[in-house]
Amino acid sequence: MDRYDRQLKIAGGTDLDRDWQRLRVLLVGCGGVGTILAQTLVRSGIGFLTLLDGDRVRLTDLHRQVLYHQEDADVGRAKVTVAGRELDKIGGRTQLKMIPEMLTPTNAEAHFLAHDVVMDATDHIAARTLIDQTAMQTGVGWIHSGAISDRWVAASFLPPGTPCYHCWVAESPAPGAIGTCESDGVLPVACLAAAAAAIRLLVKELRRPHLDNLIQESPASTRRTILRGNIADGEKTVELESDPDCPRCGLRSQSTVSDRQERSGVHLRKLCGSGSVETWLQLDLDEIESRLRQLDCEIRWHRSAAAIRSDGPSGSLICYRDGRALLTGNHSETVEQAQQQLESWLGKDALWTR
Ligand SMILES: [Zn+2]
């Protein structure tokens, strides 16, 4: 009997399990939400999981952080050391990597590029801002989750682009202005709900039909789903709109669609803070893979469950399941350059037209 039999048996389970098994996840933060995420991802056989956390186990973590024990708190063991030990015991097919570090501007890009998806379970806005910026620079998408008191939240920035995290939380609150688990406490049920919401967003993304956006009138670029809940009211879905004045991804503060593209109906825009160009393709990942195979130039490409990533000497092209694509590096200095590069790699019919 297959260890994963019960998830293979759901409708569409074979396809989902294949993608799940291919996915490389970086989990940042291994606390109340992170330990539940890690345990569920490993039990369900995610392909590859890296845990990043520089913290140690404390007595007050034990009521909610499901991988740690009294003896770990007594000696203040590093969280990833204990998490690695406990996750190993689960067994199964997941490859695990434990890194006893915080995410920093120095290590963020390298960590992102080694994974397909980043799951944020940190409790710092500064870490989240760094995750958002690195996502736009590298094209690696992320899912946010958090819990405090009796409330929880999860949001998907998968694939990255607009609206970004900054559209949602524009100003970093002053230190002490918002509560922490230390000041406001946190219920285990809020952590469970946050982890459930984050995994739900990940599964939903993987089950989404490719090129889902093309059935709509315009590219599905200007909205994000945020799941927000509390004990009294339950969970609500909120739509996050792009902020046209956002300094990271906004439209007003930058050159977007040039006249030429406006006339030709091709839709490209430069994401201000990251220097990447965002566009939409009307090809599915199979077709993109087949066109990249026929290319006779110096690019390396890799297909994951979430995207196809091609890295050339002067930048990268990342194509996502929903038709969105990001160009980074020198390719994206201007939107015209980005369009030329895309057409030379994937053909003139690749770009989505209005
Ligand atoms: Zn934004």
DSSP 152-193: EEEEEE-S--SS-HHHHS-SPPPTTTS--HHHH-B-HHHHHH
CA of 108 to the centre of ligand 1 (A): 20
CA of 124 to the centre of ligand 1 (A): 19
CA of 14 to the centre of ligand 1 (A): 36
Q: How far is 97 from 162, CA to CA, in rounded Å?
A: 31
Of residues 333 and 7, more confidence is placed in 7
Q: What's the rounded mean pLDDT across residues 276-293?
A: 90
Q: What's the rounded mean pLDDT across residues 8-25?
A: 96
CA of 301 to the centre of ligand 1 (A): 28
Place of tokens 């970093």: 172
CA of 251 to the centre of ligand 1 (A): 9
CA of 96 to the centre of ligand 1 (A): 33
Average pLDDT score, the chain: 89
What does each C-alpha distance from 54 to 14, 31, 259 come to in angstroms? Answer: 36, 11, 49
DSSP 213: G
Q: What is the amino acid identity at position 52?
A: L
CA of 166 to the centre of ligand 1 (A): 5
Task: Delineate the domains of the chain, giving CATH numbers in brackets.
Answer: 5-241 (3.40.50.720), 259-346 (3.30.310)
| Residue 251 clears pLDDT 80, i.e. is over it | no
CA of 182 to the centre of ligand 1 (A): 30
Lowest-pLDDT choice from 105-114, 135-144, 261-270, 279-288: 261-270
Of residues 341 and 100, more confidence is placed in 100
CA of 298 to the centre of ligand 1 (A): 33
Q: Give the pair of three-digit tokens for residue 173.
A: 């609150």
Please list the alpha-helical segments (H only) found in the chain.
5-8, 13-22, 32-43, 70-75, 79-90, 108-113, 125-138, 165-168, 181-184, 188-207, 259-264, 285-294, 335-346
CA of 22 to the centre of ligand 1 (A): 30
